[in-house]
Every structure is written in structure tokens, then in C-alpha cells.
Chains A and B, each alone.
Chain A
Amino acid sequence: MMEPSAYLLLSGILFGIGVTGVVARKNALIILMSVEIMLNAVNVAFIAIGSYLGDVTGGVFAFMVMTVAAAEAAVGLAILIAIYRLKETIDITELSVLKW
């Protein structure tokens, strides 16, 4: 049984990359991908802790998150396509009509 700290470090780095991507990038597609990275960073942490504790719940959760991630990606992409058809751009700084 190995220490989970390396995995958790990896998970943290991946999550940081994801967050940076979501906050810093302007392309909606990139943001969507960054969200996927964040979700998968969490998956890494789940599985690492699960295998460290010998508990399958971590793995089950990881599957669950993957399912949600797949659904989210599908819906997100569909929205992006719809926005692109309307605005001919997916730059989020251009998409600021929904405000006061």
C-alpha cells in the first residue's frame, strides 16, 4: 500500500490548472475543457484515497463523476454550438448581454 500524497499532489496540480483555465481563458470551449480537468482531478483524489483505505466507494464515486462529466460535456457543447450559431463567436467577453 503506497502513500496517497503523490496522487493528491497530482490531483491538486490538475485542479489548479483547471481553475486557472476557467478563470483566465476567454474561449468557452477551453473553459469547458478546463472544467473537465477539474472534474478528473477530483477523480484522481477519489481513487487514490479509495485504494489507500481499501474502500470501493471512492471508485464508485469516480464513475459517477465521469457519467456526470460526460453529460455535462454534451450539454455544454450543445449550448456552445447554439451560441456560436447566434453570435458567431464563443469568446465569453463578447457574451455579456445577460446583465442589468
Chain B
Amino acid sequence: MVGGILQYLWLVPALPLLGVIVNSAIALFAERPVLLRENAHGEGGHGAGDAHGHHASPPYRKLVAFLGPAVVGASFAVSVLAVLALAARPAHDRLFVQVLFPWVQAGTFQAPAALQLDPLSAVMILVVTGVGFLIHVYSVGYMSHEKAFARYFVYLNLFTFAMLLLVLGSNFLVMFVGWEGVGLCSYLLIGYWYEKKSAADAGKKAFVVNRVGDFGFLVAIFLIFWTFGSVDYTEVFARIPVLSERGVLTTGIATAITLLLFVGATGKSAQIPLYVWLPDAMEGPTPVSALIHAATMVTAGVYMVARTSALYLLAPTSMAVVAVVGAATAIFSATIGITQNDIKRVLAYSTVSQLGYMFLACGVGAFAAGIFHLMTHAFFKALLFLGSGSVIHALSGEQDMRKMGSLKKRLPVTFTTMFIATLAISGIPGLSGFFSKDEILWKSFSSGHGHAALWAVGTAAAGITAFYMFRLVFLTFFGDSRMDPDVERHVHESPYSMTVPLMLLAVLSVAGGWIGIPEALGGHNYFEAWLAPVFGHGTEGAAHGGGHHSLALEYLLMAGSVGVALCGIGLAWYLYRARPGVPKEIAGRVPGLYDVVLNKYYVDEIYDAAIVRRIVNGSVWLWEAFDATFIDGIVNGVGALVRGAGERARRLQTGVVGSYALSLLLGAVIVVGFLIWP
């Protein structure tokens, strides 16, 4: 029974949760004692104990290595079956809600723990479990030298669970729980190597910056409940026409709600002005960067905007804000990507930039295109991160591209797959990135919400993307080796557990876009049609806008963006292959500009001076002036008062029996007098 599988939708998040429970038990009761023992041992005389721990793989590690990926794989299998069952239904009926249990009930407020499968969440769970599964498998190889192996998989499984909750929840509250859950896991995984101060700091930064966004999201949920009297997606969206007619839902309220939601999205999805945490998040293990900080968690904001598309369409101002912030982020972070030398940081800024594209798409009303790019980006960016992880693994942890080079022959699988992903992200025709990126650029030009300036910025960013990605490839894989001799001796291609996921993701990076080939290229945009029931209202407007433009214009723009991408590639080839000395010369020519970009436009420093310093100073004032002086003053004052009173009162105890007797007598006289007084 294919139809019956939908009843098992709860298994999709439940299976990773099972992994969390079992793996935590292993981490706490099997792994932790071993680590503690090794630490104690290591202090006395390390070496022997260390080596022992590495070679003899204890059985619990094998269990974790199996269970961690297996639960996500099983979850993926259930997801596929559930999505197939959903697809078997007629298009207007593709909405399945499963109420698990009543969760929060207070007066008219009802928020059950319920899951919802519709075309949008279907795409999301397939990406999360599918790409997530490959990254789990990859992690087994990548993390094999780590001692805290079970702890890693606990976090990774917990992340998958929270992310599935986020995309499967049927109301804003369940989404918020998932939203916070992924934030927590992001913090835990960025700070996985918590002995390293930079990693711990990066984790804290990610957590704090995300809190700023979460505040906006939370207020938006309050406002939604206040306006609609419900937090359930179906109910909220169904009440839009009635409430707008009654004048309850004004454009102002819709703008407020959507802008606050967007504040949440900028935090989670690393957009201006809250993007600063993502590049630092690269302190975490590379598979984590691939899963959380490229493929899934950071796209939660895009998912949320797409999910609330009906509200966004009521607020043209918000749409414009989303589009402008998206486009600005896309080009801003792309320019930073040019100057970075850390391979993972280049990819991090690239991710910020690509997320900007997704928001650009949402902002011009092309939600389907945004989700399409979300999916293809998940494939090729996960591949790029895993590929860079494979490089880093091969080079014993080296991340600086200035110390790489000529790895093409040494790491053939990594090179081939990464090269494919680079072509995809650069927008070479035929690969997934081309279709999704071009769809966005075309919509940003043609849609009713679009603008030629947005298109121009997006196309320029596409050219820069092609440039910095090929710069990365040329610096890493081509040219002369600049590796340390010690490192070079150990260079090796990664094990199968790492290369097989790379190959599968490479296939997806190529073919993943074929389900969304635009009609202009003789394809049929299955992807947009699949999402139409969710965005029916939105894509319609975009399609109408598109109708005014000719096919010739679409071809022209397409050729333009491909041309720009080729220019970017050509420039990268010229600067990093043909004339390797030139980049330094250019940097020397405009030292001021180069330094500004190299230092990420000093945004971190500006934030530090404008906000962080002030909060810290304010906290110091509260601590020293308010807490230490005022609060402690009250507490200590009361103590001193009682002490002083006691100091005086103790003189009464003279030790002379006669005086006691006299007091006794006086007391008795007073009591008796009081009693017999009329």
C-alpha cells in the first residue's frame, strides 16, 4: 500500500531522534569514560595510550559508524516513499497533515505537535535526508581520527531531527522549535573542537547573532497569532482573504509580520546585516559546514519566506526589502570571496552569496525558483564543501590555498567532482546551477516585482562567483605545488566512504537541475509545476509578468549571464594560470581597496565598535556600578546592620546573676502589672 505510507510520516523525524538517543547513550556510557581515562593517562606519559586509542577501534565506534548514517538513510527511504505517495495524489490534494499529540493549549490558542507534508516540505525533506545521509556517510570517513566520535554523531543526528521538524511542522510553533533546535546543533557543532578558543568563540558568535534574528521571528509569530488567531499554516493562509476584506489584515500589519520574519531569516540564512557568523562557523568540522552551513540549516530562512509567501505577496515593501537585501548580499559577499585564502572561507562567502540569490528570487515573487536554487545549491555546495574537506583531509588539516597547488593528479576523484560542482555553481549550461540561477535572474528581470537593476546586480555576482570559484580550483588543483614537504609526503586520496558521496553529489549537481528546465529551452518546468499548489498565488503573478516579455529577450539574458560567467572564468584563468604574478600586482596597485576587501570590509570591526563594545561596556557598568555597588550594598548593608545591633545587644549579658534576677523581677512586675491593670 503506497497510500498508507503517509501514516508513517512521523518516522521521518523519529528515526534520527532514535539515533540521537542510542548514540547519546553510547557517547555517555561508552565513549566518555574512555576519553576521560585517556586524558588522565595522557597527562602522566602520553603516546602509548594515544596510539592505542587510535588503532584498536572499539566496538562502540563501529556501532556509531553504522547507526549514525543508517537512521538518516532509513529516514530518507521513508521520505521517498511518502513523497511518492503524495505525488500519486491529484495536485490540489497534495497536503497531508498528521497530528501527533496536542501540545500547547491555552484558551483559543491551539498548537498541536503536527507534521505537514506538502510539495514544499517534500522537497525540503528529500534534500535534508538525502544530502544529509551522504554527509553522514562521508563523516564516518572524515571523522575517523576523532576521539569524540559518538558525540559528533549525536549532534549530527540531533541536527537532522531538528531540521526535519523545522520543515515538516504544520504550524509556526513547531517550526520555531526546529528553528531553535538547528541553531543549538549549529552552536554545538561549530564548537565541536571546544578546546580551541577560536572554535568556541565562533560557536558563541553564531549563537548570539542567531538570537537577534530569532527575536524577530518570535515577535512575528506573536503578531501572526494576534492577527489571525492561529499559528497553523493552513488556517492562517485560509483566513487571509476574509481578514483583508474586514480590514483586520492591513498592508501595514502584513509588512510588519513579513519584515520581522525576514529579520529571523537574515539571522539563520546569513544575510546582511546578520551574515557575520557564517564565515566564522567554518571552525567546525568540514562535513558540518557542508550539511548545516551550506546545504540545509542556512536555507531555513529561504524555506520560511517561501512558506509564508502568501503573506509576503500582501506586502510589496517587504518583497522589495527581501529582493534588495538578497541582491546586495549576493554581490557583497561574492566580492569578499575573491580575496579569501582559506578554502573553506571562500566557500562560506560563496554560500552567503548564493543564499542572497535565493532571497532575491523570493523577493521578486519567484518562490519556486528560490526553492529550486536551494535544492541545486544543496547539491553542489555540499559537494564543494565535502571536496574541500577531502583536500583538507589529504593535506593533514591545511586550509590555506596558498599552500596547496597541483593536487589534480594526486586527488583525481576529489578534483573531478569538485570541478563539476564548480562548473555547476558558475552557471555553465546543462548543469544544475545554470537552470536554477538563470531562472532567478530571468525572474528578477521579468517578474512584476522585478527590476533591471536587480538583474544587473545578480548577473554581476554570477560573474564574480565564476571568478572566485575558478580561482579556488586553480589555486588548489593546478600550478606548482606550494605544499610543505612534510604535508606533501602524506597526500592521499580519501577512502571510499568519502569519495562515494562525492561522486553521488556530483551526479546530482549535474542532473539535479534537469527537473526544472525552463520552457524557453524546450523543457518542461516540472519543479515549478510541482510547487504550484503551494505558491499558486505567487507564481501566477510572476508568470503573468513574464508573459509580457519575448522569448528572444529570455535567450538574450541567458546568453548574457553565461557570457559573464565565462568572462569570470577567463579572468580567473588569466590571473591565476597564465600570469600568476598579476593578482599581487593588482593588489599592490590598489592597496587600500584590497585591504578593505581582504578584511571583509571591516564589518566585524564595525559591529564590534558599534554594538558589541557598547553592550560589553553596558554589562560592565551593570556589573560594577549596579550589581557590585547597589545590589551588593543592600545585601551587605542589612548584614552590617544586624551585626552592629548584635554587637551592642550582647553587652546586656553581663554574667552577673544578680542583674539577671533583677531583670527577671522587672519583667515579672511588668507582665503582672499589665495583666491586672484594669
Give A residues with C-beta under 8 Å from B: 19, 22-23, 26, 28, 31, 92-93, 95-100
For the complex formed, measure the closest distance between the CB of A20 and the CB atoms of chain B, giving whole angstroms: 10
In the assembled complex, the CB of A7 is this many whole angstroms from the nearest CB of chain B, namely 19
Interface flag for B657 (CB, 8 Å) = yes
**Chain B residue, CB-CB nearest to A19:** B665
Contact B661 A96 (CB under 8 A): no
Q: Which of A22, A26, A31, A95 has the most CB of B within 10 A?
A: A22
Residues of A within 8 A of B654 (CB): 96, 99
Can you name the residue of chain A whose Cβ is closest to the Cβ of B660? A92
Q: How far is the CB of A31 from chain B (nearest CB, A)?
A: 8
> Which B635-678 residues have C-beta < 8 A from chain A?
650-651, 653-658, 661-662, 665
Question: Which chain B positions have C-beta within 8 A of A99?
Answer: 653-655
Instruction: Give the contact-size bracket for chain B.
Output: 10 to 19
B661: chain A residues within 8 A (beta carbon): 22-23, 31
Main secondary structure of the interface of B (DSSP, over half): helix
Q: How far is the CB of A12 from chain B (nearest CB, A)?
A: 13
Does the CB pair A92–B651 fall under 8 Å? no
B658 touches A23 (CB 8 A): yes
| A26 contacts across to B, CB distance below 8 A | 658
Structural contact, A98 and B655, CB atoms closer than 8 A: yes
Known A92-B658, A95-B657; further 10 A-B contacts with Cβ < 8 A: A22-B665, A23-B662, A31-B657, A92-B657, A95-B655, A96-B654, A98-B655, A99-B653, A99-B654, A99-B655
Which chain B residues border A22 with CB–CB below 8 Å?
Answer: 661, 665
CB neighbours of A93 from chain B (8 A): 656, 658
By the criterion CB–CB under 8 Å, are B656 and A92 in contact? Answer: yes
Using Cβ atoms and an 8 Å threshold, which residues of chain B touch A28? 657
Q: Are B651 and A100 within 8 A (Cβ)?
A: yes
Which residue on A lies nearest to B655, using beta carbons? A99
Residue of A nearest to B649 (CB): A100
State the CA gap A97–B414 with chains docked (Å): 91
Shortest A99–chain B CB gap in Å is: 3
With a CB–CB cut-off of 8 A, which chain A residues contact B653? 99-100
Q: How far is the CA of A53 from the CA of B350 in the complex (A)?
A: 110
A95 to B655, CA, bound (A): 7
CA distance A97 to B661 in the complex (A): 16
Bound Cα distance A95, B660 (Å) = 13
B662/A96 in contact, CB under 8 A:
no
- Assembly CA distance A97 to B653 (angstroms): 11
Complex contacts, B658 vs chain A, CB 8 Å: 23, 26, 92-93
A98 to B657, CA, bound (A): 10
CB distance from A11 to the nearest CB of B (A): 15
Cβ contacts A to B, 10 pairs, < 8 Å: A23-B665, A26-B658, A92-B656, A92-B658, A93-B656, A95-B657, A96-B656, A96-B657, A97-B655, A99-B655
- CB-CB under 8 A from B650, the residues of chain A are 100
Task: For the complex formed, measure the closest distance between the CB of A49 and the CB atoms of chain B, giving whole angstroms.
Answer: 16
Alpha-carbon gap, A97 to B654, bound state (A) = 9
